[in-house]
Amino acid sequence: MQRSLLGLALCGLAYWYYLDSRGPLRAPGVLAPDAPVQAAPPPELKPFTLRDVRVTPVESIALTARVIGTQRYFSGREAGLSPLDVVLGWGRLSDSAVLSRVDFAQSARRYEWRVYDPALDAGYVRTHSANMHMIPADAAIDAALKSLRPGHVVTLKGYLVEVRAADGWSWTGSLVPDDAHGGALVWVEHLDVH
């Protein structure tokens, strides 16, 4: 009897996890046609301290993109600042019909892809997707980031940053969306989820 209840509980937990990990289903079509916009940060924006590290804004960033994948991190110094990586796509990589022919995987703060459509080359995937290490500006943005699932469309504004601690530890992300696999370190000040 106890084994049956335990088995039932585990099945229920697995089903809940499956439901919780699904995002909205999207019909074919481009949902986010435009590339991210980057610019110099405003001159009045100075470096600031967050959890004993100095955060330096390097460029502003604004984008609307489709969530392709998310990966949570729970341990390590980086996870204290950025508990979530999000792979985002725009242009044809926001289209369900195209994404059905590309596999993405995330691990160790990197992302990889494999293209199954000869009409879509790896160069296009590299220039129309990005792995972003998200640093939430406040608790509401943290909660919104953690609620993201593949299929969501996000509008985000913030800054590409670099961080440095007094003991010499530092973390600098990519400043270009077509960084091969690594990722941008993004201070997220505004996030809308659709």
**Could you report the per-residue pLDDT of 91-146, keeping only the tens digit for each?**
999 999 999 999 999 999 999 999 998 888 888 999 999 999 999 999 999 999 99
What pTM was estimated for this model as a whole? 0.87
Within a domain: 12? no
Nearest Cα residue to 184 out of 147, 149, 141, 133: 133
**Could you report the per-residue pLDDT of 19-65, keeping only the tens digit for each?**
445 689 999 999 999 999 999 999 999 999 998 999 999 999 999 99
Task: Pinpoint the alpha helices (H) of the chain.
Answer: 2-21, 77-81, 96-99, 122-127, 139-146
Within a domain: 20? no
> Per the structure, how many domains does the chain have?
1
Q: For residue 65, what is the domain's CATH number?
A: 2.40.50.140
Q: Please give the residue range of the domain that contains residue 62.
A: 25-193
